[in-house]
Structure 1
């Protein structure tokens, strides 16, 4: 299979086919759920609502139908803030399961919720909505908590003990990394960081396609260029072919006179091209734990050994002189040949051997990130797992869509073989690593995206990475100005100068709410394999911060005295700085202190 990030056609297929590994305690309220601790985040408040529901059942106020599992409660920000700080529909969700009208369930829960520390009031509205209003002091405590946790804020252990093999980019070593591969580099590395933030042990892996006809075409293209001949009809063009051909000749001056010139250019050319790819990725902030060579599966005899094993497997059957994989059992449109009628292995045999190799190396879950033209491999990879007697759920495939580069309103075309490919280096040279990574990661990978070079080179709020980075730089400037004005988080004796009750402005409530949502956003990004959720939330947080900056002062006006509210607001400012830095780090983007 060609694991290129290149995408040549759009599809409307859903992006992921996933299996959850490990149990996230937030996804179940069975047993003894953690009790609310007073730190008002959506996650903690959701836990508090779930705990109240369990307590009501335990006390006999509600009776759950035997065998029915009650859902985990979720709180959301109401569209109309006059209705409260948070709202939940859990009473309507469980009404049938406890055999009571939704409003009666809501009334029972509201009484218990009203006794939770930090909750000022709970109102029942409509058919059974619960609208929750918090004490300003309880909400404000979050600012101090974030500063205390530092870079750990937003991390969790939901995936602790799980080893995930994440394969991404894996572009053919026949040319530089193009826009599709660049997108996978940005998204894949960010996903690895997000999964690690949830406790997973992530192995970043690059599958090096050094076995197949594309390598032959590459070698013939290099040899033709070295001989000053036209490129083969099915070969590769472009300036990079000339550069590599010259480098091979510099290393091996007698290459053209050797017994097998094409083999010389194959071995040396592929190695030179791959070193360029690795160098480009490193400069892009992406490094891999494993570079796996496809050819090793064949040279090491793993494919041949596996074929003998599979012949006795019920997952294969013999027909028309060939051995076929029952891939239709797993959603494929047709069964696939694994051993051809001439006795040689089909390409999918290498995929099966590769999956087995990953599992033998300790992977609990194998995530493959593939281009849109690889959608057919979803069922084949799952069938490969089944052929080995393994669980298809150990395979997860993410399908990406097209990337278009736009300048002056016109699409920049790319064609690897024509030599007009838009490479990773081209994009970085124009917009920089930060803007390139951020712009490629802020969209769901199941959507086609246009990268507008005109927008990404502007230092304005239209540029999303500038908008977020500027918010971080502004928090740093505020901290510097506060220091100069004598505003500090702690007194000289080290005592915190903080009163959460003073964070009562409406803009402060909005900012605290955005901060509190960050841990659940990271958890969702990991659960759904969607790091773009982090980017979008950072933009919302940056917006909330800029509005707060315009409405609330950290330093006194003019010659006014420094008051406790100023010290307290510095805690909030620094909490925003920490969360922005944490989120940008998950995206592999820098958090500048000055802009």
Structure 2
């Protein structure tokens, strides 16, 4: 169950309570959307929502009472293992044991289409993987597969060109059109230490294409860009961290093949869950708990939607950083490869499937931003 699906489930529970008069409030007071997110502290379930606090005033009862009504309905939903009320009325939701497996299977089955409204057309936006600037002429209008126009009026300068190109790719991925008359793309322009505007050629010569695009895309459009002296090839650099994480997912798959267990037809000791395997050799993942990495993978489609809706490709860049950080923590807590003389087991294949799903999301996101996803780094 993805965050978007869980959000809809919570909303259905609220509406059901209103229709049954368990919550006495106008149907018009029910929000159109409900936010769910990983809780700020571990051990508080897989996701949390503040919907009860939002409804309490209109319902005329304390938030914890609202939370109790919604929690009772949520607890009866298949795929939800438990719901707890915390603090003034927050709902902490724990998903069933099969949820991580279902998520991984969904990501691997979708591949490059994960998070998109449809599979990408040849050359769009996979051509961005080459690292080409993907600049759009000012006033460009392109068509979605649905026929919805994207009209973007780009301000002069390299940042507007890069942001506009990435925004167009993200919007096309989720089928998000613009309002009539087009929209301006006018991020704060880039200036050097001397106060002069910096050109795209100068940035590429100084940073290279990938670092240049990341530096221009990572801050919000209204924030100023701090241009580094040179690209830093270490994990303290978010762009390097994301690319390195993707390269590590590729290395894990190569190493697994050398050990002979990346093939879904290979039988492993101690079968776990569905030993027949799934997409890309993913066996059952019941022994892999829901982790922050699963939360990041599940949130990816919603992040794409928000980036398109808010015209903010920086949200995608920062989510890729979160995903990369969660991936490296996952490697520590759930090593995908056997250590020493240990034989490969089904749990290793299950963990490897999670790593492969992380690689899918990282590559998809980098591609939309026009940044390369190197298999070796």
TM-score range, shorter chain: 0.7 to 0.9
What is the deviation of 1:96?
2.4
Q: Please state if 1:460 is matched with 2:234.
A: yes
Match of 1:587?
A: 369
What is the deviation of 1:424?
1.3
Structure 2 runs not aligned, ≥5 long = 119-143, 268-275
Q: Pairwise mapping of residues 106-121 of structure 1 onto structure 2 (< 5 A)?
A: 106-121=67-82
What is the deviation of 1:97?
2.1
Q: Distance in 1 between matches of 2:27 and 2:76?
A: 29
Kindly indicate which of the two structures has a greater share of residues assigned to strand.
1
Identify which of 111, 115, 123 aligns with 1:154.
115
Q: Distance in 2 between matches of 1:489 and 1:110?
A: 42
The answer to whether the 8 A contact 2:48-2:90 is kept is yes
Match of 1:514?
A: 296
Q: Distance in 2 between matches of 1:143 and 1:550?
A: 19
Identify which of 500, 503, 516 aligns with 2:285.
500
Structure number with bigger Rg? 1
Match of 1:192?
A: 168
Match of 1:88?
A: 49
Q: Distance in 2 between matches of 1:162 and 1:63?
A: 40
* Alignment CA distance shift 1:66-1:591 (3 Å): closer
Match of 1:403?
A: 190
What is the deviation of 1:413?
4.7
Q: Pairwise mapping of residues 33-432 of structure 1 onto structure 2 (< 5 A)?
A: 40-65=1-26, 67-156=28-117, 162-169=148-155, 171=156, 181-200=157-176, 364-370=180-186, 400-405=187-192, 411-414=193-196, 422-432=198-208
SS of residue matched to 1:106 = helix
Q: Distance in 2 between matches of 1:581 and 1:365?
A: 33
Identify which of 337, 355, 361 aligns with 1:573.
355
Q: Distance in 2 between matches of 1:123 and 1:365?
A: 48
Match of 1:281?
A: none
TM-score by length of 2: 0.84
Deviation per residue, 1:275-322 (Å, 9 max, x gap):
xxxxxxxxxxxxxxxxxxxxxxxxxxxxxxxxxxxxxxxxxxxxxxxx
Q: Distance in 1 between matches of 2:30 and 2:14?
A: 12
Structure 1 runs not aligned, ≥5 long = 1-39, 172-180, 203-362, 371-399, 406-410, 415-420
What is the deviation of 1:491?
1.8
SS of residue matched to 1:84 = coil
The answer to whether the 8 A contact 2:159-2:189 is kept is no
What is the deviation of 1:67?
4.6
* Alignment CA distance shift 1:453-1:412 (3 Å): farther
Match of 1:472?
A: 246
What is the deviation of 1:153?
0.9
Calculate the aligned-residue CA RMSD, in Å. 2.3
Q: Distance in 2 between matches of 1:75 and 1:495?
A: 31
What is the deviation of 1:581?
0.6
SS of residue matched to 2:43 = helix
Deviation per residue, 1:339-372 (Å, 9 max, x gap):
xxxxxxxxxxxxxxxxxxxxxxxx83411223xx
Identify which of 323, 328, 344 aligns with 1:562.
344
SS of residue matched to 1:490 = coil
Deviation per residue, 1:450-473 (Å, 9 max, x gap):
11123x2x2111222111111111
What is the deviation of 1:141?
1.9
Match of 1:438?
A: 214
The answer to whether the 8 A contact 2:159-2:216 is kept is yes
How many aligned positions are there?
341
TM-score by length of 1: 0.54
SS of residue matched to 1:144 = helix
SS of residue matched to 2:226 = strand
SS of residue matched to 2:34 = coil
* Alignment CA distance shift 1:428-1:445 (3 Å): same
* Alignment CA distance shift 1:459-1:412 (3 Å): farther
The answer to whether the 8 A contact 1:187-1:531 is kept is yes
SS of residue matched to 1:566 = helix
Match of 1:551?
A: 333
